[in-house]
Amino acid sequence: MKILLFGANGQVGWELQRSLAPLGELLALDVAGQPGLSGDFTDLEGLAATVATVRPDFIVNAAAHTAVDKAENEPELAHTINAEAPGVLAQAAARIGAALVHYSTDYVFDGSGNRPWREDDATGPLNAYGRTKLEGEARIRAALPRHLLLRTSWVYAARGSNFAKTMLKLARERERLTVIDDQFGAPTGAELLADVTAHAIRALAADAGKAGTYHVAAAGVTTWHGYASYVLQAARQAGQALKAEHVEPVPSSAFKTAATRPHNSRLDTARLRATFGLALPPWGAGVNRMLQEILGTP
Ligand SMILES: NC(=O)C1=CN([C@@H]2O[C@H](COP(=O)(O)OP(=O)(O)OC[C@H]3O[C@@H](n4cnc5c(N)ncnc54)[C@H](OP(=O)(O)O)[C@@H]3O)[C@@H](O)[C@H]2O)C=CC1
Ligand SMILES: Cc1cn([C@H]2C[C@H](O)[C@@H](COP(=O)(O)OP(=O)(O)O[C@H]3O[C@@H](C)C(=O)[C@@H](O)[C@H]3O)O2)c(=O)[nH]c1=O
């Protein structure tokens, strides 16, 4: 099996380089690409040419414009990277008979209600990032039936930028931390996503009927405040000197951001678990592993 990976240096892309390697021949491109092969999602013609040249069996796209607040001020760039480029990849894949694996987000939902979102629930993104990701999904579905659209939430990894690392940095610098306690979801490790992806690719290669949209998130639920408190307690236990004594819970209305975020980001993963025969671990298990890695604890 030949796999072409885009976004190889992001949180998920980096872990995919590990998990996809045993499946066959893996060509991993970041934004810089390789001589004659573009990996830049603003270079739509170059991307299509890369797919035509490499002729992979599977394309895995981990590249995205993930700066949620920034996307409010640069919606065209977010649209090119999150909507147009995935559409171009899907069309290029269709031309050569390849399948495409792509990631999407809890931010395609409007955050209403309090039950976990199912794949077929109505979408209603509240911000530019979510709107562009939703359009990326639609373009892939329209161009290529053989796809896996994996919607996930609150991704973290030892490598890269994420909320847990921001909290550790702020807690070292500031005495007072305020964090939203009315947005609910599950932090999901890039390691877990990468492992699930490899498993799902093998399953799709054996059975085209497994193509479709799936929710992938760690089990359980917390808030950003619960997540931050968990991370800082672990850091204290690991002997880290933190200025912030505790994390103050605040409602979303008291913490203004450029982009509006959903209150309910919970994802129902029953379809993924049943289709692929997988179990998803509780969110704290993966967070503990990341913290051990970045805090240097045994
Ligand atoms: N992070 C999260 O919390 C969540 C992420 N997702 C989705 O999961 C996927 C992976 O996200 P994650 O790994 O966390 O994101 P990261 O931000 O860690 O990685 C995104 C990658 O995309 C690359 N990229 C940005 N612009 C371009 C461009 N013009 N051309 C090529 N590559 C580009 C970045 O490169 P560089 O660093 O050089 O800019 C980076 O390597 C994305 O589809 C994302 O939407 C879904 C839910 C939650
Ligand atoms: C830094 C900070 C953030 N917050 C809030 C703002 C926001 O509601 C929440 C998370 O903030 P962040 O900006 O770190 O996370 P955000 O960029 O919104 O994370 C999202 O990224 C995209 C890519 C996704 O697809 C989503 O699943 C989700 O992971 O925490 C605080 O309450 N206090 C703080 O000090």
pLDDT digits (tens, 9 = 90+) for 1-37: 999 999 999 999 999 999 999 999 999 999 999 999 9
- Encoded amino acid at 116, one letter: P
Whether the CB of 154 sits within 6 Å of ligand 1: yes
Confirm if 75 and 133 have CB atoms less than 8 A apart.
no
111 CA distance to ligand 2 middle (Å): 14
> What was the pLDDT predicted at 298?
61
Whether the CB of 130 sits within 6 Å of ligand 1: no
229 CA distance to ligand 2 middle (Å): 15
Whether the CB of 10 sits within 6 Å of ligand 1: yes
Above 0.95 for ipTM, yes or no?
yes
Q: Which two tokens stand for residue 213?
A: 């949209």
- How many whole angstroms separate alpha carbon 261 and alpha carbon 99? 31
Q: Which two tokens stand for residue 282?
A: 């509780």
237 CA distance to ligand 1 middle (Å): 31
Neighbours of 293 (CB within 10 A): 13
Whether the CB of 64 sits within 6 Å of ligand 1: yes
Residues 6+ apart with CB under 8 A from 280: 192, 196, 216, 217, 218, 219, 269, 272, 273
Which residues' Cβ are closer than 6 Å to ligand 2? 66, 68, 105-107, 153-155, 163, 166, 170, 178-180, 183, 224, 255, 257, 261
Ligand nearest to the Cα of 70, by number: 2
Confirm if 50 and 39 have CB atoms less than 8 A apart.
yes
Determine whether 106 is exposed, middle or buried from the number of CB atoms within 10 Å of its CB (0-12, 13-18, 19+): buried
Protein residue whose Cα sits closest to atom 5 of ligand 1? 155
Q: Which residues in the chain land under pLDDT 70?
A: 298
Per-residue model confidence as pLDDT tens digits over 283-298: 999 999 999 999 987 6
> What was the pLDDT predicted at 246?
87
The closest-lying atom of ligand 2 relative to the alpha carbon of residue 170 is 35
Q: To the nearest 10°, the Cα dihedral for 147, 149, 59, 293?
A: -150
Q: What CATH number has the domain spanning 2-162+186-220+264-282?
A: 3.40.50.720
End-to-end CA distance of the chain: 37
Confirm if 68 and 75 have CB atoms less than 8 A apart.
no
- How many whole angstroms separate alpha carbon 266 and alpha carbon 111? 9
Confirm if 124 and 118 have CB atoms less than 8 A apart.
no
Query: Sheet harboring 147-152: ordered strands across?
Result: 25-29, 2-6, 58-61, 99-105, 147-152, 212-215
3-state secondary structure 241-298: CCCCCCEEEECHHHCCCCCCCCCECCECCHHHHHHHCCCCCEHHHHHHHHHHHHHCCC
Q: Where are the domains of the chain?
A: 2-162+186-220+264-282
Ligand nearest to the Cα of 225, by number: 2
- How many whole angstroms separate alpha carbon 184 and alpha carbon 114? 9
- Give catalytic residues, as residue numbers: 129
Helix (H, G, I), strand (E, B) or coil at 34: strand
- Among the residues of 62-151, which ranges form H helices? 68-73, 75-79, 85-96, 128-143
Best residue among 4, 9, 12, 135 to mutate for probing ligand 1's pocket (most ligand atoms within 8 Å of CB) is 12
Residues 6+ apart with CB under 8 A from 146: 93, 98, 99, 100, 204, 208, 211
> What was the pLDDT predicted at 245?
86
The closest-lying atom of ligand 2 relative to the alpha carbon of residue 155 is 29
Confirm if 29 and 39 have CB atoms less than 8 A apart.
yes
> What was the pLDDT predicted at 296?
85
